[in-house]
Chains A and B, each alone.
Chain A
Amino acid sequence: MTSTTTAAVPPVAVTGDPARTPKKRGKGGIASAYPTWFYLPAAALYIVFFAVPTFASFYFSLTRWSLFDIEFIGFANFVQFFSEAQLLQGFLNTFAYGFMTSALKVILGLALALLLTSQIIARGYLRSVVFFPVLVSTIGIGITFKVLLDPFGGLVNESLAAIGITGPGWLTDPQWALFSVALIDVWKGVGIACLIYIAGIVAIPTEYFEAAKVDGASAWKSFRSITLPLVRPATATVVILSLIGGLRSFELIWATTRGGPGFTSDVIASVIYKQYQAGFYGLSTAGNVVLFLVVTAIMIPISFLLNRKQVDA
């Protein structure tokens, strides 16, 4: 196919009229220089390893599926998913985890970005240090914090004890476990939120702040009326990115608590893995479908809302 195109071009070049190549599609003849088959390699991978499994999951989620046989059982997996307390807990925890990490990343990311764009010393060092955890292995960080947060002799509780506070069993107390994992997630991921906000803040013309200053606006007032509305695109990005990551989160939870104690820090992604390990492939795939529905049901309205406001502003 290539050789024919190459051969066809020189005569065209001689006549000096590139707009009149034999194949005429789209925007004039030059379109044939952008062959549609360039989509093919990527499309083949996407279809075979992503689209087919995704569509197949809708069928498999309706089956009782083990290593040996497969049996159609209708919606029984979904009924089980929402009637068994431990699975339902994972479903609810997914929302809690996603929204908690997302909100904290927005607040802390913006606060850090304001600090790191203001006139202070050692900005370069601070930016590097805040961002570096983003690049470190999640499993490594999970194991490290599991040790640091150990209720007996872990650094965090030892330090708290030194100033007279009895720290909770961060990852071992059912009331704290999910919250603690979310905090570790924020520690690891806040760097990227911060960077996105820095990019947004730097893009605001300084004249706005100067004009506000001339008009006698306080720092808080110019933050409320200038910075906050103008970093809305950055906020949209941070919210969307951290929600996609947070709702699908698995690695950190698995490295720190494995969903425990009991099932108190399970999320859908960890339920999927547990059911897969136990050989309940149908139930595991039903979990996948539930996760798919949760993520799309949350992401579509949110990205619509955020993007629309972005256009208005």
Chain B
Amino acid sequence: MKATRVRATVVGTVAVLLSIVVFLVPFAFIFLTASKTAAESSSLAFSWPQEWAFWDNLVAVLSVRDGIVIRAFVNSTILTVGSIALMVVFAAMVGYVLQRKTTRWNPVVNFFVLAGLIVPPAVVPTIWVLQGLELFKTIPGMILINATFGLSFCILLFRAFVSTIPRELDEAAIIDGAGSLRLFFRVVLPLLKPVVITVIVVQAVAVFNDFTGPLYFLPGDENATVQLTLYNFQSQTLSQWNLLFMDILLITIPPLVMYIFFNRQIVAGMTSGAVKG
């Protein structure tokens, strides 16, 4: 018994040390570089800052180019909230009917859901469609695109979860006089709350971190998203590594906060959705 405890401590300690080197040093590097002065950060060394310039850098990043970073945060927030609202409601409706009702269309729907998961979106034709609808380079257009690309994953999660809600509940609600809309929005959707939270958290991180989408479908400074500011900083302010890393740090904070509060939902969503896929 004592031997196993010694072993647990030794192996655990080695693993912790390794994890610090492999996983924590890069994040420490981001933080330290974000705290240095421009001159010191240019050496790219992993060292303690000789002079702390954390607040100066923070103010500098937020005020660069008339506060484009702040606008980007606002844009990314609007995009995230809008896309997720659509995704949750639309995907829940599909997942619910798909699980509850068996028709000859089910295999077709299932096929398209899987196709949506696997097939890479065709870039230029999508832009062509967006231009035709006059939604290219607009936030609403980007919201619709994000919602579309996220639908499949959400539908799979919802379908799996709806199967755990007993059908007797539906029947009881119908006998009590609920119509199909009220049955769904008042009875079923509230019961889906755990999976709704999972979908919200997982997709919030995905949409917030998405770079390819805005790069193609939302170019231009007026609607910049946080990931695009990072990308543009990289090409424009090469000499100011401290500001670049301050931006990385700022962008890392929202997912970190999400992870601290919704750890369990994120893990559940990413593993269970994956298993069903």
Contact = CB atoms under 8 A, between A and B. Distances in A.
B277 A27 contact: no
Contact of B211 (A122, A137, A154, A233): A137
A85 interface: no
B54 interface: no
A299 B179 contact: no
B39 interface: no
Contacts of B12: 120-123, 126
A146 B165 CA distance: 48
A143 B147 contact: no
Contact of B120 (A31, A65, A139, A295): A295
A288 B120 contact: yes
A9 B178 contact: yes
A255 interface: yes
Contacts of B179: 2-3, 5-6, 9
Contacts of B181: 2, 5-6
Nearest to A193: B274
B259 A135 contact: yes
B144 interface: yes
A27 B101 contact: yes
A49 interface: yes
A56 B13 CA distance: 56
Contact of B248 (A13, A25, A137): A137
Contacts of B171: 18, 30
A272 interface: yes
A218 interface: no
Contacts of A147: 29, 33, 44, 241
A260 interface: no
Contact of A150 (B44, B105, B118, B259): B44
B124 A60 contact: yes
Nearest to B46: A155
B44 A131 contact: no
Interface residues of B, number: 102
B119 A32 contact: no
Interface stretch (A39-47, A96-104, A173-181, A204-212): A39-47
A68 interface: no
Interface stretch (A163-171, A220-228, A237-245): A237-245
B230 A154 contact: no
A5 B16 CA distance: 61
Contact of A60 (B125, B155, B183): B125
Given A26-B101, A134-B270, A145-B26, A276 B119 contact: no
Nearest to B89: A41
Contact of A129 (B24, B180, B241): B24
Interface in B223-246: 226-227, 230-231, 234, 241, 244-245
24 contacts: A6-B179, A26-B102, A34-B180, A35-B97, A39-B109, A42-B91, A45-B90, A46-B112, A50-B121, A53-B121, A54-B121, A60-B124, A120-B11, A121-B8, A130-B19, A130-B23, A134-B270, A137-B248, A144-B245, A148-B29, A237-B274, A255-B234, A285-B124, A296-B119
